[in-house]
């Protein structure tokens, strides 16, 4: 695997190459991770709802932080799972703990994102339906 570093820790690639690695990681996760795909579909729906309900600039900032944080955390969870799987193929309680804790972090942020969405969108949806 190319980490972009030589043995003497000198940088061997450009900043542009770093972006290429990042996009390759995102592309790989989007193709292989069902949970990330679900988060992307929900994010698209939330963005469409935000457009339809004409949310304010501040509300957009909150929505975008919720979406960006959720997607980032899901990518980190995927990275933890990959590293744990690389470290051991055997069942190990610490490996399970690492995966479970990373999944727990995703769950907490997802719950927070749902609460933010409810606070922002429910009053607008109720007003729209009235």
Separation CA 96–CA 92 (nearest Å):
6
First-to-final CA distance of the chain:
57
Separation CA 33–CA 46 (nearest Å):
20
Tell me if 124 is assigned to a ligand binding site. Answer: no
Tell me if 100 is assigned to a ligand binding site. Answer: yes
Residue 38 · residue 113 · CB < 8 Å: no
Tell me if 99 is assigned to a ligand binding site. Answer: yes
What are the backbone angles phi and psi of residue 85, rounded to the nearest 5°?
A: -65, -35
Active site residues: 74
Which parts are annotated binding residues for substrate?
A: 74
User: Which residues are known binding-site members?
Assistant: 33, 74, 81, 99-100
Q: Which residues are annotated as a binding site for a divalent metal cation?
A: 33, 81
């Amino acid at each position: 695997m190319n980490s972009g570093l030589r043995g003497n820790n000198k940088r061997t690639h450009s900043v542009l190459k770093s972006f290429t690695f990042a996009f390759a990681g995102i592309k790989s996760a989007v193709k292989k991770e069902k949970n990330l795909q679900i988060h992307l579909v929900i994010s698209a729906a939330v963005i469409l709802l935000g457009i339809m309900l004409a949310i304010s600039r501040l509300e957009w900032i909150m929505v975008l932080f919720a979406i960006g944080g959720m997607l980032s955390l899901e990518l980190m969870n995927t990275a933890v799972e990959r590293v744990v799987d690389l470290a051991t193929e055997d069942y190990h309680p610490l490996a399970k703990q690492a995966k479970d804790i990373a999944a727990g972090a995703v769950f907490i942020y997802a719950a927070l994102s749902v609460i933010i969405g409810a606070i922002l969108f429910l009053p607008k949806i109720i007003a729209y339906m009235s």
